[in-house]
Amino acid sequence: MSGKRVTVPEILAAKGHRKLAVMTAYDYASARIADEAGMDVLLVGDSLAMVVLGHDDTLSVTMDEMLHHTKAVARGTNHALVVGDMPFLSYQVSVSEAVRNAGRFLKEGRAQAVKIEGGRETAPQIRAMVDAGIPVMGHVGLRPQQVARLGGFKVQSKTAAEAAHLLEDARIVAEAGCFAVVLEAIPARVAQVVTRELPVPTIGIGAGRDCDGQVLVYHDVLGLFDRFTPRFVKNFAQLGTASREALARYAAEVREGRFPGPEHEFSIDDEEFKRFIG
């Protein structure tokens, strides 16, 4: 898809009018495909650590790695709004460090916004980033950067008290200036209430159908990652299986001398060739 890029005011204006389609992307090729498919937002998620770099969780991915991939996604995109996911410890330590690192996603990564995980404790960072002109997407519910504290990737807000705490966190990050808030792995009915109460779009992942938009991981949508599949994932294709079959055919044709064929070869003028071998 080409033409005008989706803007932050357009994302805000979508609330209550149309659903937002959000997808992760990590490189130029996947970004081009997702952009041409018409995504509103491409998130360069820190899930990069797991689905692209092979780590067990998102904690070890660095600012430099995130920026490297954000640059590639930005080059592959001319329609979707590109959001860079701030990695673990790039925004928690101090407000000034958070603003400086967020700014790098826009200045160097050429993203149009950043995402940070967290509730009320991140409000000072969100306010300072927004004041500096950096649009921020929030992320509450299951926060994968908290995996060490949580002891695993678990559904959140299953009690009334936890749900009330989540709603208050979501309200606070929206009031601090987030233009959208990701709700991850929470009961659908809790997400419905949060979506009704927030003035900005909610983007669900494992949060049911009533969110203002949905986000999934590129590799999950296309069936390219099978180490584990959370309940909320739907494979819309099985490209992992298709890729393995295609690569096995390639290897077989190479071994059997069937690839490359004459149609893949370059020619040389007969005279030139005679002179060469003579």
**Shortest Å, Cβ 116 to ligand KIV:** 10
- Of the pair 62, 96, the CB lying nearest ligand KIV is at 62
- CB of 272 vs ligand KIV, minimal distance in Å: 54
In angstroms, how far is CA 67 from the centroid of its own chain? 13
CB 221 within 8 A of CB 23: yes
The CA-CA-CA angle for residues 91, 95, 99, to 5°, reads 70
Minimum gap (Å) between residue 1 Cβ and ligand KIV: 22
Is residue 153 within 8 Å of 50, Cβ to Cβ? no
194 within 8 A of 157, measured Cβ to Cβ: no
Tokens read off for 243: 């890729």
Of 98 and 182, CB closest to ligand KIV:
182
Binding interface with ligand KIV (CB under 6 A): 24, 43, 45-47, 85, 182, 184, 205, 215, 217
CB of 182 to ligand KIV, least distance (A): 5
Which residue lies nearer to ligand KIV by CB, 69 or 258?
Answer: 69
Backbone angles phi, psi at 182, to 5 degrees: -75, 135
Catalytic residue among 184, 245, 253, 256, which?
Answer: 184
| Annotated catalytic residue 184 | yes
Nearer to ligand KIV, 217 or 224 (CB): 217
φ/ψ region of 61 (left if φ > 0, alpha if ψ in -120 to 50, else beta) reads beta
Which among 199, 197, 179, 55 is positioned nearest to 126, based on CA atoms? 179
Q: What are phi and psi of 141, to 5 degrees?
A: 90, -135
Residue nearest to ligand KIV (CB): 45
Catalytic (active-site) positions: 184
